A and B are shown apart, each in its own frame.
Chain A
């Protein structure tokens, strides 16, 4: 199976090279995206087969890379889960891009990098030594950076690309340190050798921290998230979907691989920072999403929230594992993995919706849209499925993973450390807050874009998007529903990976009646998405029938917002800023929200202005001082470029003497 997966990865990379030579051909776009979709389907198949057959690890070594190491590749259950995520996401997004890519003005800026990006992500999950892993990771970063810079003529995009490049380089460097520490003095960079080494608690804590920083900077963990809301929206929409839906999962894979596989058991207190960071990331991410006015940035911030939720689940799994409660650890890890899968489904879907809206109207600011449900009914329906799923409403898939996570949180009193007994319920409260805010955020997202009346002329003249895009979105929406109705299937699917990581698994769900989910045998809680779906269908259908029966079937159009202003301007509707206002005011401290009202002097006919302003405290309190410090230090050190020859020699001489003196004293 590894041979199949590795050749698919090689196929992606080869397709990149082919795409370089296709510049200017009219069919290049269809060919490249079509081939990417086929290869992705193959990858999905390879991952699923590996999982269904029990997730036995297959291994191969290629004679490339470092001469004494070679390139170790391995497909075990954990890799297979993420290979399946990449395959499914890649297939749907590539199919979408067949339609979406036609609108691209400069396809040659996207096509050569797109398949390679997929291939590099595949290589990351297949890598079984630190060198191959880091090389693939960096390739993934650089190719996605090139994709972010597609519209490089815009100033904002260039800034986003630069920020992304800096953060990606930083993350890879930190991961390099983590792997170096794990390899130990004899430099065994093979994962199998790392697994065999015992790590002391101090070293393990350092490695876990470095991995959380390195992988977290790619996934969007607070406070390393700053690049994500600028870089994800700057790319073309299908690339945004790939970065937000799939690449963040690859980053999660990096963390899971180190924390649950390579590092071995860790003390309980090391789970605390992971849980707390995850919960804070979730709340802050969704708060920013609630006040932002740009459709794609809202989605990017929501990605940060979901990554936070998943990290909280992983931290919980670490805490349970440290207490030898393997079944509950398995529950938390299962929740994390399924949420990763679900997030890929609905976040890709929503970015596709944003892309379709962007293509139809040319706008991505929420306040320039509105009323699109009339012009784009199919997209509107699929978007409704997506926002319902991401708001964790049953019977869709978002509910399942959050429910599993809360089941794990409710078991926290069984933990033996009082610190965790207090902390985990508090984190549960934060995650519940995040879930509620997510619902608020997507009510706003959907309401402002699709409901009400068009706020601009372009929104009024929008046309439905093409068939390829619609079918890709419909496929993802169907999967969102399917995964929500038969969640037991997903639990059983990821079970080999959980068992591989923890030696234990959530009980088999396949035999349950009514597709009920019974995560922990001794706890009396269960959930049947199927029954909920049946109930929703019957009650919803019944009430719709009753309403139409008792009232009228006729579609009525009446003047909207007709409260004394029959010809009111569409901008008087409840808009993005109006939705955000309550949350912005309540959370003014953490959002650093300011409102200013400018009144014209008496007698002046200028309008009064009200402006609301929020900022990211991580950016103003951490990054701006840091950037200022780096700038000042660079300005100081600049003098070093203009020394005399003799002074350069003196520098070399001085450092040599310093090192020799150090050596003498040290000896």
Chain B
């Protein structure tokens, strides 16, 4: 039983990283949002599996929050934003997809090397693997924020980064529910704020390309 539990947890955490790569690969906004919802769903499953194997009921709440907010509400809201504002449906990248994927692989290698080294003392192998995967998801989320021009994709990168945080917190003997709720709410508020900003930017510049902001500041690239 224990080995199976470990394998399933491993599988779920690993597929989060895989979905992160899928998100980097997407070149359509709607597809990107769907992939993000998939990642949130996987996160909810991973956390729920942790709750089940470790017999920690409060993690179910975490899983439920992840499912409701991140797999349903946020993607739906972003869908509406994209539809209402008529944003261009392609993802504008800074560099090509292949270099970005290669960089992402480098980041995963880095985080695994680092985490396995640092946590050598820990007895729980699951926590070690989980932390390595979580750091990979975080770094991939940041990579996505850095290599995308469109504000919506940057928001998605940020949300994906937050998924990595939740994964790390759930793996490490679970965090108190209060913390989890406050994190979830702060993410939601961040989404709302960013959404408001998106509308403001659009109203003013007819685009959510953040480079337009720089042109407004009167700067050269």
A residues in contact (CB < 8 Å) with B: 642, 644-646, 649-650, 652-653, 656-657, 660-661, 663-664, 667
Contact A644 B214, beta carbon cutoff 8 Å:
yes
* Residue B146 CB within 8 A of the other chain: yes
The answer to whether B146 and A649 have CB atoms under 8 Å apart is yes
| Distance in Å: Cβ of A655 to nearest Cβ of chain B | 11
Contact, CB under 8 Å: B213 / A645: yes
Residues of B with C-beta under 8 A to A644: 210-211, 213-214, 219, 221
Residues in chain A near residue B211, CB distance under 8 A:
644, 646
Report the nearest A residue to B213, measured CB to CB: A645
Which residues of B are in contact with A by a Cβ distance under 8 Å?
Answer: 94, 107, 110-111, 113-114, 117-118, 139, 142-143, 145-146, 148-149, 154, 210-211, 213-214, 217, 219, 221
Inter-chain contact A664/B142, CB cutoff 8 Å: no
With A644-B221, A649-B154, A656-B142 already in contact, 6 other A-B pairs whose C-beta atoms are closer than 8 Å: A644-B213, A646-B148, A646-B149, A649-B145, A667-B114, A667-B118
Most A CB within 10 A of own CB, among B113, B118, B146: B146
The answer for the CA separation of A649 and B158 in the assembled complex, in Å, is 11
A663 pairs with B142, CB closer than 8 A: no
In the complex formed, the residue of A with least CB distance to B109 is A664
Enumerate chain A residues within 8 angstroms of B114, measured Cβ to Cβ: 660, 663-664, 667
Which 3 A-B pairs give the minimum distances between C-beta atoms?
A664-B114, A644-B214, A650-B146
Q: Are B143 and A653 in contact (CB under 8 A)?
A: yes
> Which A residues are CB-close (under 8 A) to B145?
646, 649, 653
Q: Which residues of chain A have C-beta atoms less than 8 A from B219's C-beta?
A: 642, 644
A663 / chain B contacts, CB cutoff of 8 Å:
114, 118
Which A residues are in CB contact (< 8 Å) with B143? Answer: 653
Contact B110–A657 (Cβ < 8 Å): yes
Q: Are B142 and A661 in contact (CB under 8 A)?
A: no
Residues in A with CB closer than 8 Å to B214 are: 644-645
Residues of A within 8 A of B111 (CB): 660
Q: How far is the CA of A661 from the CA of B149 in the complex (A)?
A: 26
**A513 to B61 CA separation, bound complex (whole angstroms):** 93
Q: Is the CB of A664 within 8 A of B117?
A: yes
Give the dominant DSSP class at B's interface. Answer: helix
Taken together as a complex, chains A and B put the C-alpha atoms of A650 and B107 apart, in Å, by: 14
Are A653 and B146 in contact, with the CB atoms below 8 A?
A: yes
Contact call B210/A664, Cβ cutoff below 8 A: no
CB closest residue in chain A, given B220: A642
Q: Give the CA-CA distance A661 to B114 in the complex, in Å.
A: 8
Minimum C-beta distance from A654 to chain B (A): 9
Complex CA distance for A343 and B219, rounded to whole angstroms: 59
The answer to whether A667 and B117 have CB atoms under 8 Å apart is yes
| CA of A652 to CA of B141, assembled, Å | 13
How far, in angstroms, from A252 to B10 measured CA to CA in the complex? Answer: 65
19 A/B residue pairs, CB under 8 Å, sorted by A? A644-B211, A644-B219, A644-B221, A645-B213, A646-B94, A646-B145, A646-B146, A646-B149, A646-B211, A649-B154, A652-B142, A653-B145, A656-B139, A656-B142, A657-B107, A664-B110, A664-B117, A667-B114, A667-B118
Let me know if A646 and B110 touch, CB within 8 A.
no
Kindly report which residue of chain A lies nearest to residue B151, judged by CB atoms: A645
**A646→B95 CA distance, assembly (Å):** 13
| Contact across chains for B217 and A645 when beta carbons are under 8 A apart | no
Cα separation A207 to B221 with both chains bound (whole Å) = 47
List B contacts of A656 (CB < 8 A).
139, 142
- Enumerate chain B residues within 8 angstroms of A650, measured Cβ to Cβ: 146
Docked CA distance A344–B210 (Å): 64
Do B210 and A657 touch (CB < 8 A)? no
Q: B213 contacts which chain A residues (CB < 8 A)?
A: 644-645
Least CB separation from A656: chain B residue: B142
Q: How far is the CA of A646 from the CA of B118 in the complex (A)?
A: 31
Residues in chain B near residue A661, CB distance under 8 A: 110
By beta carbon, the residue of chain A nearest B138 is A656
Of all chain A residues, the one with the shortest Cβ separation from B219 is A642
Residues in chain B near residue A642, CB distance under 8 A: 217, 219
Task: Please report the C-alpha to C-alpha distance between residue A642 and residue B214 in the assembled complex, in whole angstroms.
Answer: 9
The residues of B that contact A653 with a CB separation of less than 8 Å are 142-143, 145-146
Q: Residue on B with the closest CB to A667?
A: B117
Residues of A within 8 A of B149 (CB): 646
Q: How far is the CB of B148 from chain A (nearest CB, A)?
A: 8
Closest chain A CB from B138 CB (angstroms): 9
A646: which B residues are within 8 A, CB to CB?
Answer: 94, 145-146, 148-149, 154, 210-211
Residues of A within 8 A of B94 (CB): 646
Complex alpha-carbon distance, A667 and B117, angstroms: 7
Q: Is the CB of B139 within 8 A of A657?
A: yes
A492 to B108, CA, bound (A): 73
Which residue of chain A has the shortest Cβ distance to B143 in the bound complex? A653
Q: Which residues of B contact A657 (CB under 8 A)?
A: 107, 110, 139
A663 to B113, CA, bound (A): 10
Given A645-B210, A646-B210: A664 and B146 within 8 A (CB)?
no
A667 vs B118: C-alpha distance in the bound complex, in angstroms?
8
The distance from the CB of B100 to the nearest CB of chain A, in whole angstroms, is 13
Cα separation A608 to B139 with both chains bound (whole Å): 76
Q: How far is the CA of A199 from the CA of B219 in the complex (A)?
A: 54
In the bound complex, residues from chain A placing their C-beta under 8 Å from that of B139 are 656-657
Instruction: Report the nearest A residue to B118, measured CB to CB.
Output: A667
CB-CB < 8 A to A652: which residues of B? 142
Min C-beta distance of B131 to chain A, whole Å:
13
**With the chains together, A667 CA to B121 CA distance in Å?**
13
CB distance from B90 to the nearest CB of A (A): 17
- Which residue of B is nearest A648, CB measured? B146
Q: Which residues of B contact A660 (CB under 8 A)?
A: 110-111, 114
